[in-house]
């Protein structure tokens, strides 16, 4: 504490005296902001809490009776949890799409809304971590994967890379969020050197989290459905659809419900980004499908199963066609400038895109990797009620984190920009 | 809505948040009613969390500190192992009412195991599966086993044409039978992916799992191209009189819930020189087991004199289980 | 130096080159820290000379030095030995046990050689004896294998008598390939020890599995099936049946 004060006294750019002393007050103020609000806010938070508790209950049951309460099998050994994990990583990486135009292209208008992307990244990473946690058969042995404590099979296991990049991303974004908020809270201009390098790091890092997550799957030679070099780029493309879409939705909701007007330029820019990325994503899906179906080799059974069903098994067929239709429709909407003028249509287009990607990258990617199994046995997978409970719970918790983050951040940011 | 209020307040006061915070913090009286409500809500929330999480209490209570703190198998001293094996034996006594001996069974120096199956002889009767089931203390309800036998039409090695669930007389005309279990690959993809080194390959080639270290992420199941790994979706159930008391820590001891297991070439037998249970049970004599390093071994003779092949060779996994037709 | 060593070890662990390249390419920098992670890696590679060898390479490994010592230490193989044969009579004794009679008890008394060639003709004392040995258009006869003069013996193709306990040498006349496989443990199965330094290996003999009169291995009914979760057997199977 004292050392810090000395430094702040001597340095010229200079944190004012009491830089750290203010911190408890900042926390207290944040806690207040997070817990004070309109009935609507309370209602929203109560709802999320309730759903999260349902999730906790489901997980407690799963912990007690074993993963038998899920519908996963030795044949389909990953399911809804890992599907959501994958989507969540995309969301986290996509959040950074807010940051790139702001800092790489020095778009001032975006600076104020950058925090949205950062907060989304934080919330999404928390969601991802939770999905991994509930997917573990032995959550009590979680410490085995902590470097130094357990045995960390790095660099050979891709999962350890994922642990590193996800936690690293969480820390970077927590730092950026925390630093920006705290300095703005103090009414000071943030020191560039304390956050700009991290912003650039987070841009690179965002790419890495999704690449590494794709490598988890694409490095498995025994799973031809995933064993394609296109997986990582595809993941990135879809991440850069889902992330910006989620941010657009956030802004639309904030405006509509909380009456918070964020720079309209921001939404426009994000729409432009999605306009490109959604097409790239579709192109990649098409390229993948061409390879599968035109070649028609034994390896394409997974794609056949996904799109048309195999030997009378077709649990995923409705899912994937829904996803394709939604994605294509969303793409059409995003290409149509005038349609997006109306917030309603924009919302609809965004929702379609979001759900489309969620299916395509979640259930549509993870489950067909397992069906048929490596020895071509067909066991289908439909998530159990417990799995849905836990999944809903985790999303609710993630949204809680996101909402609270926004609740704290937005007033501080607005006040700060008002001052300027 | 709330943000709106906040903003309005701020506009009218035209204060920086810093100042406001400084003013409001000491005056707790102003917010006391709100705080009280919040406090109550927090208490209710924690209580609800407790209720929601209650089902896990029992399981957590079962988890002993010694088990929780146990180190990775390779870090254990002989004394550690003695204590751990004793603990596990006691657990088996308590849970399964069975008296068992758990051994260490280190690999024999200079030995490297290989296995071969004569597909011309195998008739798919499934005695090996059953022997595996009994030997390795598998869950009775699911009739688990490390082996699966595919009934394949002649003329193809495409598993898509195969079927594991036939229940008619065997062998059927123009079919052959292909038993599959862990191939103890020389380049095992399941080992590289494990984030915590809970599964590794020992010097005799056997890929083992430390059931007390595995976190149950099932990445290895995704990585295995041969469907050789099984997960304990729940605690296995075995009647006391059916428990095989001759157990190895890395092999057939009764597995805990939530971890991955796999065929280990019956290492508690093979590492003391005995034949694996599946081989002994095979009535057709289709199975040949032995030491690849011994030039006089049966398996070496088979490799030199039969036209052997491995499955999915293109994946570069280098299986140590070989198939041949006479 | 240390770095390179570790890296090589990592490579060996990874087995295939391309995967290691991929990882190295992703982050060369990271590899320098590998040392820490690599230190406690299993040094399995050092002890396992077959690691990474192909099937062809393994099958050509030279004999190891201690083979001579080993040969002296080996436990014997215990072969099961066939007894002189008996035949079922379709009758039971006072306790209800089926009565069997040694073949020789009748056949040694026959002054005249019975020119029986096929099992259908055998009625009394040969109940249940199904004879189906040889190719369909060239079935063997009783006296192909049984010694006509002494039913306690078998006969080789050149007429030499063979004791029942050595029946394998007679079977081997036609089934040389199987006999060779058997000799090398690749036919007939076994019990006990693979490592004959540590214990006895028990071998069956031909007629333990093959009825000499009808040697085809019997059909069996599988009575054990693992019950994989949600695996619907019939549907999958029927699909295939229809396809063929
Ligand atoms: S399930 Fe267990 S053995 Fe398999 S990768 Fe995960 S921790 Fe390793």
Domain extent listing, chain A: 3-419
Note the pLDDT of residue B12. 40
Q: How many CB pairs under 8 A join B and C?
A: 196
Note the pLDDT of residue C82. 82
Mean pLDDT for all residues in chain A: 89
pLDDT digits (tens, 9 = 90+) for A24-73: 888 888 888 888 888 889 999 999 999 999 999 999 999 999 999 999 99
Asked if B128 and B265 touch (Cβ cutoff 8 Å), the reply is no
Cβ of C31 within 8 Å of Cβ of A151? The answer is no
Question: Can you tell me the distance from the alpha carbon of B44 to that of B36, in angstroms, rounded to the nearest whole number?
Answer: 12
Q: Does the residue B128 lie in any domain? A: yes
**DSSP labels for A294-330?**
HH--GGGHHHHHHHH-BTTB-TTHHHHHHHHHHHHHH
Closest residue CA from atom 4 of ligand 1: B220
User: Around Cβ B88, how many Cβ atoms within 10 Å?
Assistant: 20
C182 pLDDT more than 90 = yes
Q: Which residues of A touch C230 (CB under 8 A)?
A: 71, 73, 75, 379-381
A375 Cβ contact partners less than 8 Å away, ≥ 6 residues apart: B148, B150, B159, B162, B180, B226, B227
Note the pLDDT of residue A10. 34
Note the pLDDT of residue C236. 45
Note the pLDDT of residue B145. 96
Note the pLDDT of residue C237. 45
Closest residue CA from atom 6 of ligand 1: B217
Question: Can you tell me the distance from the alpha carbon of A239 to that of A281, in angstroms, rounded to the nearest whole number?
Answer: 9
**Which candidate, B224, B144, B146, B148, places its Cα nearest to that of B179?**
B148
Q: Which residues of B touch A49 (CB under 8 A)?
A: 45, 48
Report CA-CA distances (Å) from B188 to A221, B216, B220.
11, 18, 10
Q: Which of residues 258-317 of B touch A (CB under 8 A)?
A: 258-260, 312, 315-317
Q: For residues B153 and C30, which has the higher predicted lDDT (pLDDT)?
A: B153
**Domain range spanning residue B213?**
3-30+63-324
Closest residue CA from atom 5 of ligand 1: B194
Mean pLDDT for all residues in chain C: 73
Of residues C189, C227, C236, nearest to B282 (C-beta):
C189
Cβ of A132 within 8 Å of Cβ of B232? The answer is no
C71 Cβ contact partners less than 8 Å away, ≥ 6 residues apart: none
B229 CA distance to ligand 1 middle (Å): 10
Note the pLDDT of residue C64. 59
Q: For residues C94 and A243, which has the higher predicted lDDT (pLDDT)?
A: A243
Note the pLDDT of residue B179. 97
- H or E, element range at C182: helix C176-183
Question: Can you tell me the distance from the alpha carbon of B70 to that of C27, in angstroms, rounded to the nearest whole number?
Answer: 33
Q: Does the residue B45 lie in any domain? A: no
Question: Can you tell me the distance from the alpha carbon of C203 to that of C188, in angstroms, rounded to the nearest whole number?
Answer: 8
Of residues B284, B290, B292, nearest to C50 (C-beta):
B292
pLDDT digits (tens, 9 = 90+) for A164-178: 999 999 999 999 988
Q: How far is CA B305 from the centre of its chain?
A: 35
Q: How confident is the model at residue C244 (pLDDT cuts 50, 70, 90)?
A: very low
pLDDT digits (tens, 9 = 90+) for A273-305: 999 999 999 999 999 999 999 988 888 999 999
CATH of the domain at B162: 3.30.70.20
What does DSSP assign to residue C210? Answer: S
Compare all CA atoms of chain B with the CA of C202 and give the residue at the minimum distance: B280
Beta bridge partners of C139: C134
pTM score of the predicted model: 0.86
Asked if C105 and C88 touch (Cβ cutoff 8 Å), the reply is no
Respond yes or no on whether ipTM tops 0.95: no
Average pLDDT over residues A99-112: 76
Compare all CA atoms of chain A with the CA of B256 and give the residue at the minimum distance: A138
Q: Say if C202 is an interface residue toward chain B (CB within 8 Å).
A: no
Asked if A212 and A206 touch (Cβ cutoff 8 Å), the reply is no
Q: Which residues of A touch B59 (CB under 8 A)?
A: 63-64
Q: Which residues of A touch C238 (CB under 8 A)?
A: none
Least confident of A66-70, A141-145, A406-410, C44-48: C44-48
Cβ of C193 within 8 Å of Cβ of B171? The answer is no
Q: Which is the closest atom of ligand 1 to the Cα of B221? A: 4
Compare all CA atoms of chain B with the CA of C55 and give the residue at the minimum distance: B303
Note the pLDDT of residue A383. 96
Question: Can you tell me the distance from the alpha carbon of B48 to that of B38, in angstroms, rounded to the nearest whole number?
Answer: 15
Q: Which residues of A touch B28 (CB under 8 A)?
A: none
End-to-end Cα, chain B, rounded Å:
80
Q: Which two tokens stand for residue A166?
A: 């996800």
Q: How confident is the model at residue A94 (pLDDT cuts 50, 70, 90)?
A: confident
Least confident of A51-60, A99-108, B147-156, C65-74: C65-74
pLDDT digits (tens, 9 = 90+) for A4-13: 333 333 333 4
End-to-end Cα, chain A, rounded Å:
30
Cβ of B171 within 8 Å of Cβ of C199? The answer is no
Q: Which residues of B touch A157 (CB under 8 A)?
A: 192-195, 219
User: Around Cβ A396, how many Cβ atoms within 10 Å?
Assistant: 19
Q: Which of C8, C15, C21, C231 to mutate to probe the A interface, most A CBs <10 Å? A: C231
Q: Which is the closest atom of ligand 1 to the Cα of B194? A: 5
Q: What are phi and psi of A286, to 5 degrees?
A: -65, -40
Question: Can you tell me the distance from the alpha carbon of B206 to that of B252, in angstroms, rounded to the nearest whole number?
Answer: 14
**DSSP labels for B185-223?**
-SS-HHHHH-TT--EEE-TTS-EEE-TTT-----HHHHH
pLDDT digits (tens, 9 = 90+) for A314-359: 999 999 999 999 999 999 999 988 878 888 999 999 999 999 999 9
Average pLDDT over residues A399-408: 94
Helices (H), A186-300: 192-218, 231-253, 264-295
**Structural domain boundaries in chain C:** 115-209
B260 CA distance to ligand 1 middle (Å): 6
Question: Can you tell me the distance from the alpha carbon of A278 to that of A236, in angstroms, rounded to the nearest whole number?
Answer: 11
Note the pLDDT of residue A9. 35
Name the stretches of chain B with pLDDT < 50.
Answer: 1-28
Query: Percent of chain A at pLDDT above 70?
Result: 94
C116 pLDDT more than 90 = no
pLDDT digits (tens, 9 = 90+) for B213-267: 999 999 999 999 999 999 999 999 999 999 999 999 999 999 999 999 999 999 9
Chains in contact with chain C (at least 3 beta-carbon pairs closer than 8 A)? A, B
B261 CA distance to ligand 1 middle (Å): 9
What does DSSP assign to residue A336? Answer: -
Phi-psi region of B170 (alpha: psi -120 to 50; beta: other; left: phi over 0): beta
Q: Does the residue B284 lie in any domain? A: yes
Cβ of B301 within 8 Å of Cβ of C192? The answer is no
B218 CA distance to ligand 1 middle (Å): 5
Q: For residues A413 and A181, which has the higher predicted lDDT (pLDDT)?
A: A181
**Which candidate, C95, C83, C89, places its Cα nearest to that of C129?**
C89
Note the pLDDT of residue B62. 86
C192 pLDDT more than 70 = yes
> For chain B, what is the domain count?
1
Note the pLDDT of residue C70. 64
Note the pLDDT of residue B16. 42
Q: Which of residues 86-105 of C touch B (CB under 8 A)?
A: none
Note the pLDDT of residue C72. 67
Average pLDDT over residues A17-25: 73
Q: How far is C170 from chain B, CA to nearest CA, in Å?
A: 21
Note the pLDDT of residue C37. 42
pLDDT digits (tens, 9 = 90+) for C87-106: 777 778 888 888 887 777 77
Cβ of B231 within 8 Å of Cβ of A137? The answer is yes
**Which candidate, A160, A62, A174, places its Cα nearest to that of A126?**
A174
Chains in contact with chain B (at least 3 beta-carbon pairs closer than 8 A)? A, C
Handedness of CA A61, A62, A64, A67 (dihedral sign): positive
With H, G, I as helix, E, B as strand and everything else as coil, classify residue B52. helix
**DSSP labels for B256-274?**
PTT-EEE--TTHHHHTTTB
C204 pLDDT more than 50 = yes
Note the pLDDT of residue C10. 46
**Which CATH number is correct for A3-419, 3.40.50.10680, 1.10.3720.10, 3.40.50.2300, 1.20.1630.10?**
1.20.1630.10
User: Given the DSSP bridges, would you call strands C153-155 and B148-153 parallel, antiparallel or unpaired?
Assistant: unpaired
A105 Cβ contact partners less than 8 Å away, ≥ 6 residues apart: none
Asked if B62 and B235 touch (Cβ cutoff 8 Å), the reply is no
Q: What are phi and psi of C96, to 5 degrees?
A: 90, 0
**Which candidate, A361, A231, A233, places its Cα nearest to that of A306?**
A361
Ligand 1 pocket: which residues have CB below 6 Å?
B 193-194, 196, 198-199, 209, 214-220, 260
A126 pLDDT more than 90 = yes
Average pLDDT over residues A398-416: 88
C214 pLDDT more than 60 = yes
């Amino acid at each position: 504490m004292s050392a810090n004060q000395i430094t702040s006294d001597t340095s010229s750019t200079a944190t004012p005296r009491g830089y750290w002393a203010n911190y408890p007050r900042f926390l207290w103020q944040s806690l207040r902001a997070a817990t004070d609000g309109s009935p609507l806010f309370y209602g929203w938070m109560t709802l999320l809490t309730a759903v999260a508790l349902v999730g906790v209950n489901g997980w407690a049951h799963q912990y007690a009776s074993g993963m038998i309460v899920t519908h996963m099998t030795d044949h389909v050994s990953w399911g809804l949890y890992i599907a959501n994990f994958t989507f969540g990583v995309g969301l986290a990486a996509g959040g950074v799409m807010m940051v790139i135009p702001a800092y790489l292209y020095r778009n001032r208008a975006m600076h104020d809304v950058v925090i949205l992307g950062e907060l989304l990244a934080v919330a999404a990473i928390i969601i991802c971590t939770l999905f991994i946690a509930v997917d573990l058969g032995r959550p009590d042995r979680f410490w085995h994967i902590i470097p130094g404590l357990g045995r960390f099979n790095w660099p050979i296991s891709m999962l350890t890379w994922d642990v590193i990049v996800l936690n690293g991303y969480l820390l970077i974004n927590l730092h950026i969020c925390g630093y920006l908020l705290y300095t703005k809270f103090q009414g000071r201009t943030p020191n560039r050197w304390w956050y700009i390098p991290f912003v650039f790091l987070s841009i690179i890092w965002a790419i890495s989290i999704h690449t590494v997550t794709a490598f988890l799957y694409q490095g498995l030679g025994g799973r031809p459905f995933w064993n394609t070099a296109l997986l990582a780029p595809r993941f990135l493309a879809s991440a850069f659809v889902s992330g910006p879409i989620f941010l657009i939705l956030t802004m639309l909701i904030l405006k509509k419900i909380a009456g918070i007007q964020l720079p309209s330029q921001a939404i426009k820019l994000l729409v432009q980004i999605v306009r490109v990325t959604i097409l790239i994503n579709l192109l990649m899906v098409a390229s993948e499908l061409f390879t599968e179906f035109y070649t028609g080799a034994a390896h394409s059974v997974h794609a056949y199963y996904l799109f048309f069903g195999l030997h009378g098994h077709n649990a995923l067929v409705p899912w994937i066609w829904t996803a394709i239709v939604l994605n294509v429709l969303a793409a059409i909407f995003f290409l149509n400038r005038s349609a997006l003028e109306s917030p309603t249509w924009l919302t609809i287009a965004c929702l379609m895109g979001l759900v489309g990607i969620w299916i395509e990258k979640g259930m549509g990617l993870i489950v067909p990797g397992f069906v048929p199994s490596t020895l071509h046995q067909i066991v289908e997978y439909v998530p159990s009620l417990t799995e849905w409970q836990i999944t809903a719970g985790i999303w609710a918790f993630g949204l809680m984190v996101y909402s609270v983050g926004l609740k704290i951040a937005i007033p501080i940011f607005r006040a700060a920009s008002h001052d300027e | 809505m709330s943000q709106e209020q906040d903003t309005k307040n701020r506009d009218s006061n035209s204060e920086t948040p810093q100042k406001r915070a400084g003013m409001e913090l000491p005056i707790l009286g102003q917010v006391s009613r709100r705080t009280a409500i919040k406090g109550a809500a927090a208490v209710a929330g924690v209580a609800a969390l407790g209720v929601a999480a209650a089902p896990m209490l029992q399981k957590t209570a079962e988890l002993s500190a010694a088990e929780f703190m146990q180190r990775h198998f390779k870090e254990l001293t002989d004394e550690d192992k003695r204590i751990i094996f004793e603990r596990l034996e006691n657990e088996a006594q308590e849970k399964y009412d069975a008296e068992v001996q758990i051994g260490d069974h280190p690999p024999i120096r200079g030995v490297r195991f290989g296995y071969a199956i004569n597909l011309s002889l195998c008739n798919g009767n499934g005695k090996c599966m059953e022997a595996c089931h009994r030997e390795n203390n598998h869950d009775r309800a699911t009739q688990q086993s490390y082996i699966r036998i595919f009934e394949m039409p002649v003329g193809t090695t495409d598993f898509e044409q195969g079927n594991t669930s036939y229940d008619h007389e065997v062998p059927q005309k123009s079919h052959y039978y292909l038993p599959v279990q862990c191939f103890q690959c020389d380049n095992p993809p399941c080992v590289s992916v494990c984030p915590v080194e809970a599964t590794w390959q020992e010097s005799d080639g056997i890929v083992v799992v430390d059931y007390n270290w595995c976190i149950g992420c099932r990445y290895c199941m995704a990585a295995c191209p041969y469907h050789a790994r099984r997960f304990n979706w729940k605690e296995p159930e075995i009647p006391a009189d059916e428990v095989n008391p001759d157990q190895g820590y890395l092999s057939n001891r009764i597995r805990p819930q939530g971890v991955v297991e796999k065929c280990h070439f019956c290492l508690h037998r093979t590492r003391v020189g005995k034949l694996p249970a599946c081989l002994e049970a095979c009535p057709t004599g289709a199975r040949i087991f032995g030491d690849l390093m011994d030039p006089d071994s049966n398996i070496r003779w088979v490799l030199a004199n039969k036209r052997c092949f491995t499955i999915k060779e293109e994946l570069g996994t280098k299986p140590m289980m070989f198939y041949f037709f006479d | 130096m240390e770095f390179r060593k570790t890296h090589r070890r990592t490579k060996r662990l990874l087995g295939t080159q391309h995967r290691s390249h991929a990882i190295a390419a992703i982050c060369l920098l990271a590899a320098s820290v590998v040392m820490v992670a690599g230190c406690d890696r299993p040094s399995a590679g050092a002890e396992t000379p077959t690691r990474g060898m192909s099937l062809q390479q393994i099958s050509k490994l030279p004999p190891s030095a201690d083979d001579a010592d080993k040969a002296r230490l080996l436990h014997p193989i215990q072969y099961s030995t066939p007894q002189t044969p008996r035949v079922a009579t379709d009758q039971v004794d006072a306790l209800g046990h089926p009565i069997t009679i040694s073949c020789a008890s009748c056949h040694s008394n026959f002054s005249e050689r019975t020119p029986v060639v096929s099992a259908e003709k055998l009625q009394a004392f040969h109940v249940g004896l199904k004879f189906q040995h040889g190719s369909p258009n060239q079935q063997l006869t009783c006296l192909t294998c049984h010694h006509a003069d002494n039913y306690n013996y078998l006969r080789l193709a050149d007429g030499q008598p063979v004791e029942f306990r050595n029946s394998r040498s007679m079977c081997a006349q036609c089934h040389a390939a199987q006999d060779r496989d058997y000799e090398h443990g690749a036919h007939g199965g076994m019990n006990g020890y693979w490592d004959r330094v540590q214990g006895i290996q028990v071998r069956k003999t031909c007629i333990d599995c093959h009825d000499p009169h009808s040697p085809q291995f019997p059909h069996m009914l599988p009575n054990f099936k693992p019950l994989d979760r949600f695996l619907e057997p019939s549907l999958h199977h029927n699909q295939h049946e229809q396809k063929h």
